[in-house]
A and B are shown apart, each in its own frame.
Chain A
Amino acid sequence: MIKTKELSFIILVAMYTTSCMNQSIAINLDIPSQVSSLFEKRIFLRITPEFANFTYRHPHQQSLLVDIGTAQSFLFKKITKKLFAHVRTDELSHSYTPDIIITPELTNIELSKPSESGLTSYECRLKYMVLITTKEHTINHNILAYSRTPKLNKNENQVISELLSQCIRNIASKLEIKLLKLANEV
């Protein structure tokens, strides 16, 4: 017969363990926000709910979750608002006719740990397909980022968070360069 104290202890341990599992890793973004010259173009950034709420689940470790949606939405909003004076991300209304419509889509995400790859580093790969529609044409622009970080004496979640932060910063730099070119062309 299990005593009440022991039972409550077991329940507490079980609750603690389950609460620690399935914790989504948040990414601390490190995208510099120095002021750029703003272009007077009207932009509509189409962020779908799937894109904004996307959570990565590691294929070999189901408890490893990463909140990518928040980070990627922030990245696209930050870069477009940094470059363009008029950016809308909510509904597209009749009164607002955008010069450029940007629709990002995450097409590939890979995260590998040293225990899986046999390497000495953690690796991440991100690939976005950005659909850019202007009045004249529509283009599909692919942005690819790869980063790796050595196995350090840090908490694994922290290493993954920093690694993805690097990867997203890389995507941000490529997106900014692309949009700068586009703004000068359109």
Chain B
Amino acid sequence: MKSNLFFTLSLIMFIAGCMKQYPNLSPSVEKKVNNVSKIAIIKKTDRGIFQAKEDFFITCLTKELREKNFIIISDKEFRDHTFPFFESDEATVNVEPSIDILQNKLLQKKMNALGVDYIIWVSGRIDYSDKVGAMSCTLGLYGGGCYGYTSQKDQSNIQAEIWHVARKKLLSYNTAAASGKSHLFAFILPIPIPSDSQQRSCKELSRSVLIEIFKNLSG
């Protein structure tokens, strides 16, 4: 009994010790950050094109930054307000505009009217590999069901390029990656357990974005 308790405690300590620690932003910093920023989160269409999962990263990052009381401007809203300057152009090599576009006087007027402090370009992709296991489903006169187990590894990569609008400069280029595994058990009914790699990479990226913005404010 005692040895079991000791083992459980050791295990909990080990797991807690292994968890990655991220720097916490102090309350004063949070307050300062909160007073400032209006952020436009835009999908970078020249990377990971047609990755439907990219929308997940944008939704997740938006949620994470909104929780820190930032005002978030969506891709559509931003592109509509800054039309015709931020239209992605797949007919040429430069799909998205370069940072030099911030020098345009008319765009500056539009940006001032919108009050954007930062532009975050988000792109991401998920790579799948190593699908293992087998599953079969049958349907007969007396009923049916699925039996088996499969799993698949995946790796989520997400990138964020932060532009500082007032300074007209590239603030940072942040990346985050996380790997995970999705499982599918089936005993009569299939039970999917999705991978959490997207969620983890998004959280990691939002932390690094917050740190960058903080650095910029205090610097």
A positions within 8 Å CB-CB of B: 31-32, 34, 120-121, 125, 144-148, 150, 169-170, 172-174, 176-177, 180
User: Does A172 lie within 8 Å of B84, measured CB to CB?
Assistant: yes
Task: Enumerate B89-116 residues with CB–CB distance to A below 8 Å.
Answer: 89-91, 106, 110
A146 to B91, CA, bound (A): 5
User: Does B83 lie within 8 Å of A32, measured CB to CB?
Assistant: yes
- Please classify how large the interface on chain B is, using the bins under 10, 10 to 19, 20 to 34, 35 or more: 10 to 19
Collect the chain B residues with CB atoms within 8 Å of residue A34's CB.
80-81, 83, 110
Main secondary structure of the interface of A (DSSP, over half): mixed
Collect the chain A residues with CB atoms within 8 Å of residue B30's CB.
none
User: Does B87 lie within 8 Å of A170, measured CB to CB?
Assistant: yes
Collect the chain B residues with CB atoms within 8 Å of residue A174's CB.
84, 87, 89
A169 to B110, CA, bound (A): 19
A173 to B86, CA, bound (A): 9
Q: Which 6 A-B pairs have the closest CB atoms?
A: A173-B84, A173-B87, A146-B91, A176-B84, A32-B83, A32-B80
Q: List 14 A-B contacts (CB under 8 A).
A: A32-B83, A34-B80, A121-B50, A125-B91, A146-B90, A146-B91, A147-B90, A150-B50, A150-B52, A170-B91, A173-B83, A173-B85, A174-B89, A177-B85
Collect the chain A residues with CB atoms within 8 Å of residue B81's CB.
32, 34
Collect the chain A residues with CB atoms within 8 Å of residue B90's CB.
146-148
Question: Which partner residue on chain B sits nearest A175 by CB separation?
Answer: B84
B111 CB, nearest partner CB in chain A, Å: 13
Interface centre among B52, B85, B89 (most CB of A within 10 A): B89
Collect the chain A residues with CB atoms within 8 Å of residue B83's CB.
31-32, 34, 173, 176
